[in-house]
Amino acid sequence: MIRLNMKGGPWWLEIGEGVRVQVRPVSTSLMMEARKDPELRALPEDADDEETGYVFARALARRAILDWEGVVDGNGKPAKVTPEATDALLENWTAFEAFQSGYLLPAMDVEKEKNASAPSPSGPTAGAKTTAKPARKSARSARKK
């Protein structure tokens, strides 16, 4: 079962400290764009999950964030949304965690819901009920040629 609870267009995500970001809805095309990010592709094959997740979240944020409020540059003026400024925003741990939990994780929950049938705890047939009646008698062996 997939629960369709997607927002139709851009929406605002509160990320704390008086900051909110306007984001594109999570879509297959957006995820595929992020997967093609040069920074993500440049990771070594032995990169751990933490590093890969961090780089992917930044790649996704650079493509998903359309606008923001409450983000200022070094001079106190409203900062423009750029890839560099987005990366700088995500260097703030609070902002990064809020983006992860408010934007990325709900999309991953939809992915998890696709697997509606979990195996039984003690094996695939441990919790299964017998539905067929027992055979009346044993079957004869096949004829030999």
pLDDT in tens, the chain (145 residues): 665 655 578 999 999 999 999 999 998 899 999 999 999 999 999 999 999 999 999 999 999 999 999 999 999 999 999 999 999 999 999 999 999 999 988 877 654 444 444 444 544 554 456 666 676 777 777 777 7
In a domain, 4, yes or no: no
* DSSP at 137: S
Residue 32 lies in a domain: yes
- pLDDT of the residue at 142: 74
Residue 130, domain member (yes or no): no
- The residue ranges of DSSP E strands in the chain, in sequence order, are 11-16, 19-23, 65-69
What pLDDT was estimated at residue 33?
95
Output the pLDDT for position 113: 47
Contact 59, 40 (CB under 8 A): yes
Q: How many domains does the chain have?
A: 1
The alpha carbon dihedral of 4, 5, 9, 10 has a sign of negative
Domain presence at residue 6: no
The dihedral of CA 30, 12, 105, 91: what is its sign?
positive
